[in-house]
Structure 1
């Protein structure tokens, strides 16, 4: 980051910032004025306040997703509280290092926010790994002796001990130092913004995790471009579509083995909303490139509107699928139909052929 900042000729001041008003910032007892204020304070890991947790943190047993990147050595066993994206990604890293890992998840499945077929497939693939144990429907109660995680499942208490315990239950926006200038804050503690990332105060913008729409690096980077265009008054620069109402086309990628990428609505969400849709799936086991790469597990699943044929959601699991999702995002962002995708010539042999195959099937269904 230092090289990037220097190259861009940005003045960098390290310290704790506090907004005096929308045009005045105080850092380390020095005051700075500005025409436009961009708040990019990010997020921090959420911490549970259960019995023994404070003591376990102090002892170095209970760690967060930043601390786990700076361990003095590899643990013999890692206990993970939380089976969401962060927990499952780190579980994949450590089981690949032949370290015993236990995931304790409160919901009925890991990766519970994803399309159920993705969650089930990843669970099935992980279940073949001998050094991984997944406990779902479990309620964490406390930490004893600074290294024993006590939980309850089916009314019975059990425990897991380890070298470390990773607390991976999500992140919260950081708005410290900026609440006193009249910003509108959402119920989840994020700063409300419009499609241009501008807050309720003119000239004050928020980008990245702090606006809470999607805590992903590529969203933060895009937001930075949007704000720069706004400040420079570029009419045809980078923009967000439907950011304020939560309908922006944003891909999410999970770097597990195999990878997961997803965008739009899940099949469960479509059913809940009462939207009529068509669904199609193509397995990588029938894809020549995937088989040549010895990566035949996984699939591409597309969901389209029954009447308009527009893509409503895409859910992929397989080798390098994080490289494939952008094509679907482009189609969704520009209101293209499955016919448009099906009529796009996909190279052979390639993993992306699977997208064309699924689109063709949905086109026939429509």
Structure 2
């Protein structure tokens, strides 16, 4: 695995941008495989690209401690190969849109796979990180052990920040053993019966590792000890089946090939018109993918149910969660000049009533 430490070059690039600010700020780019995952309004002025893809390599790997620390530009595919040699995996199911997907891009984007509701959240997997902030300083948060320090968990705050708080240099993550066996159960089910199934899904834990409802079929993935999985399968009903869970997590199913695509986040067990032909339901009703829908209407409906919408393709919507003033204050603390990923911040975090970033 190639190792390249370009910390000094990245820090120098940020400091030069502070002395002579580009009109559109700095646009952070790693493997550039997730640029199509979120709709972004164009900011004023052309942003200067800061390429972090060359900052790669494993800094620390302790299989016995289930901990790995790697630079942000490290390929997830390479890390998968390293972990597989020790029968381990990340303690989160991290989507990989393409072969060049990097660790830093995964953390910044913050997307989770089908196993998120079952103790495999990317945010909960991050133990610590190092980064260049908007003052050009090198800063570190958290650590590289399971038992972390008390205080504000600033490392996990980078998950889903979309690169608006700084340039990630490296990340420490928690690992887990690979499951011995996995199986998929398929049930023919009307959408009206889904809420009842979400309630019963609790009985299948800790073996349940994914749910997906699409085109009248409910797919359940169970993983763990072979004996335990095979014992519970007959009690579920339905039949054994095949489902491409990897393509679901990586957004490569034919369903996702649409000109308009939005992701609706809701409280668990929410009934969100899952019988609509353009919907795919995950996370026991907490995440619903909608294709070819009216994004404005989706946002209004999601707000009424206590949720929000993120748009992947098609017209963007205003940020769906009113975070008050804390989001702006956090950004100003990390990046007072509003240097990083300005257009992304304007699209996904700034509420209409707030002044634009600098």
Same fold? TM cut 0.5: no
Where on the TM-score scale, by shorter chain, does this alignment land: which range? under 0.3
Larger radius of gyration: 1
Return the structure number with greater relative CO, CA threshold 8 A, min gap 6: 2
